[in-house]
């Protein structure tokens, strides 16, 4: 398990580096002004793609693991195809809404008129990335975690980054290239996954679709609210800040996400185990595994957190000139991620043990507060205020989720026995 975890961590680090490389490529090619609108459009597209998944990626991960453990490969394949069809249709519909919104003047309303053509070029990515999310969950369910990370985090970013550096003359062209690569990877990844899932069949029935969608709605609301907390500061910044300050915030937030990438890598290894242990009612073993994961997270992220806190300007200088104004914002965001590391994979535990509604309710409490605080802090303290509101929101969710895990399972940051 340790050797495998090291391989997954390495793959996830490569994923973080590829995302980092994409941001650096955009910053150096388009400058502080152009990079802001490109990264804003990319983040909006990513957020919409997560919404288009309808919660079926996490649901697919949970049920595909269970179905395959019951030697019901045919039921697993049927569930996968239904999930892919649903998210693809949702992604196409959302992409068309984006195009219509831009045509009606949405970009002009937020004061960033040049983001409109970039969003239109990114619109096919919504459906493609939604499908990739389900495919990645499927790969993870059959133990192909490294392939899941590569498809979802590494290959597209590296391909597009290279294209930008080699001749991406405009942000619109780069967005169109990103969409083309995403569509290719979505189709290719699905074909490969279907070949990998065993065709064995047993008496295990396919769960009722209405029952699955009811559970998926909880997963979906958690993911959407989670991303709103992570990115609502950027949406606020797109209205309150000028293009240069917006670019600085986006770059600082992208750098801080390196911490969460490490945490997600560890989560991806252990999430299937959480689901299986819970399904088999092995609560004591689940507690032991969770304690081990919390310790691993703290040790794995501590050096990176300390580096960012001590030398933020060194990190930001990689993006080029004009981004050193984000040093304070980066420090603030890193502190928020530090709380995330200390509390452990509490969100994954709640979702994999049938407590996804508890996790959703936490977000229903924190998200509106986060939006209000972001506007207030951004109005008073600008860039650093928005960073502070984002860090407080991330910390609040993880602390509340840790308390919920402590009450439901008996282990967490606030349980010492």
The domain spans of the chain are 1-207, 208-417
Residue 372 tokens, joined:
């209000």
287 vs 3, residue with greater confidence: 287
Separation of alpha carbons 192 and 16, rounded Å = 24
Statement: residue 417 has pLDDT above 50:
no
CA–CA gap between residue 79 and residue 100 (Å, rounded) = 32
Q: Residue 136: its pLDDT value, please? A: 83
Give me the torsion for CA of 59, 62, 68, 70, rounded to 10°.
-110
Biggest distance spanned by C-alpha atoms of the chain: 62
Most confident option among 170-184, 210-224, 363-377: 363-377
| Whole-angstrom distance, CA of residue 272 vs CA of residue 104 | 44
By C-alpha distance, which of 108, 119, 110 is closest to 47? 119
Q: Give the pLDDT of residue 207.
A: 61
| Residue 47 in this model has a pLDDT that exceeds 50 | yes
CA distance 84 to 82: 6
User: Per-residue pLDDT for 416 more than 50?
Assistant: no
Range 118-122 average pLDDT? 87
Please enumerate, as own/partner, the contacts of 185-189 that have beta carbons within 8 Å and a separation of 24 or more: 185/128, 185/132, 185/151, 185/155, 185/156, 186/127, 186/128, 186/129, 186/131, 186/132, 186/135, 189/131, 189/132, 189/135, 189/136, 189/139, 189/151
Residues 276 and 65: beta-carbon distance below 8 Å: yes
Phi-psi group of 282: left, alpha or beta (phi > 0 → left; psi -120 to 50 → alpha; rest → beta):
beta
391 vs 42: which has the higher pLDDT = 391
The mean-pLDDT minimum among 21-25, 125-129, 403-407 falls in 21-25
Mean pLDDT computed over 377-384: 88
Q: Report yes or no: 402 and 412 within 8 Å, Cβ to Cβ.
A: yes
**Average pLDDT of 327-344?**
87
Q: What is the Cα–Cα distance from 149 to 146, expressed in whole angstroms? A: 5
Q: Residue 140 class from Cβ within 10 Å (0-12 exposed, 13-18 middle, 19+ buried)?
A: buried
Mean pLDDT of 385-412: 85
pLDDT at 414 over 90: no
Average pLDDT on 85-103 reads: 88
């Amino acid at each position: 398990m340790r050797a495998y975890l090291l391989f997954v961590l390495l793959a996830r680090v490569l994923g973080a580096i590829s995302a980092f490389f994409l941001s650096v490529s955009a910053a150096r090619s388009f400058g502080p002004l152009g990079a802001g609108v490109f990264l804003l459009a990319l983040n909006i597209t990513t957020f919409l793609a997560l919404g288009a998944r309808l919660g079926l990626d996490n649901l697919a991960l949970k049920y595909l693991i269970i179905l395959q453990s019951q030697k019901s490969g045919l039921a697993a394949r049927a569930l996968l195809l239904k999930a892919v069809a649903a998210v693809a249709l949702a992604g196409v519909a959302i992409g068309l809404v984006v195009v219509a919104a831009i045509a009606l003047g949405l970009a002009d309303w937020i004061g960033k008129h040049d983001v409109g053509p970039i969003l239109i070029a990114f619109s096919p990515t919504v459906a493609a990335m939604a499908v990739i999310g389900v495919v990645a969950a499927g790969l993870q369910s059959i133990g192909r975690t490294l392939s899941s990370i590569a498809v979802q985090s590494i290959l597209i970013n590296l391909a597009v980054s290279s294209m930008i550096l080699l001749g991406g003359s405009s942000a619109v062209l780069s967005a169109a290239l990103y969409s083309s690569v995403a569509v290719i990877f979505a189709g290719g990844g699905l074909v490969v996954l279907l070949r990998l899932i065993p065709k064995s069949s047993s008496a295990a029935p396919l769960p009722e679709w209405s029952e699955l969608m009811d559970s998926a709605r909880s997963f979906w609301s958690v993911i959407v609210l989670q991303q709103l907390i992570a990115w609502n500061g950027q949406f606020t910044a797109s209205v309150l800040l000028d293009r240069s300050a917006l670019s600085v915030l986006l770059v600082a937030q992208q750098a801080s996400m390196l911490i969460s990438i490490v945490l997600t890598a560890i989560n991806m290894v252990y999430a299937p185990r959480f689901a299986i242990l819970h399904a088999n009612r092995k609560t004591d073993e689940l507690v032991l595994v969770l304690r081990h994961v919390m310790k691993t997270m703290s040790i794995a992220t501590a050096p990176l957190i300390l580096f960012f806190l001590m030398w933020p300007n060194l990190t930001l200088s990689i993006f080029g000139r004009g981004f050193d104004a984000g040093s304070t914002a980066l420090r603030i965001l890193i502190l928020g991620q530090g709380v995330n590391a200390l509390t452990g994979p509490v969100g994954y535990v709640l979702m994999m043990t049938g407590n996804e509604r508890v996790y959703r309710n936490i977000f229903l409490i924190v998200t509106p507060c986060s939006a209000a605080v972001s506007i207030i802090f951004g109005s008073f303290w600008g860039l650093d205020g928005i960073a502070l509101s984002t860090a407080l929101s991330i910390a609040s969710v993880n602390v509340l989720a840790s308390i919920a895990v402590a009450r439901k399972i008996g282990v967490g940051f606030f349980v010492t026995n």
